Amino acid sequence: MKEINKEYDAKMQKTVDVVVSDFASVRAGRANAAVLDKISVDYYGTPTPINQVATISSPDPRSLMIQPWDASLLKTIEKAIQSSDLGINPQNDGRVIRLAFPQLTEERRKELTKQVKKYGESGKVAIRNIRRDAMEKYKALEKKAELTEDDRKEHEKEIQEMTDKRCKQIDELSAKKEAELMAV
């Protein structure tokens, strides 16, 4: 039964990892290539992330430069960035696309903080769903007489401790990201 708990713990850790990557995609005033991770372009009929069709560099702390490997993608990348929720207007000079990241306004910081809270909350919901699945599995094992009531309660207690630990971890990551956004 311990391996079942390890399986659920691994699922919870993957959820935390997803939340961390979601937080990385929220820009905090500094240019970060991770903000482009969720933006895809149509590359020969296939939606492809920008970082798989171009080189992304940061010439200075407030800008990103995107240099596609195929020059015909310039317009497509430019349109994809404009239609995203990034809130930045790309400059296309015919060879590269430049993204200038302005200082965050107080209003934009508050919007980004709400977005961080939403990501954190959806991560905690996913962890609680994993806990619910584990609890149901243990109850089913108890019904089949493969597990005693005391063992089930012990496993449920362990699962609850894992859930509390992961939710606390997400809360700490959220607070850290929110502080980072408000400090910029």
Q: How far is CA 12 from CA 5, 84, 97, 168, in A?
A: 10, 29, 38, 12
Q: pLDDT (tens digit, 9 = 90+) per residue, 50-80?
A: 888 888 888 887 788 888 888 888 888 888 8
Average pLDDT, whole number, for the chain? 85
**pLDDT score of 14:** 92
**pLDDT score of 163:** 93
pTM: 0.69
Which residue numbers in the chain have pLDDT < 50?
none
DSSP string, 16-55: HHHHHHHHHTS--SS--GGGGTT-EEEETTEEEEGGGTEE
Q: How far apart are the first and last CA of the chain?
A: 47
Complete domains list, the chain, with CATH: 2-24+105-183 (1.10.132.20), 33-100 (3.30.1360.40)
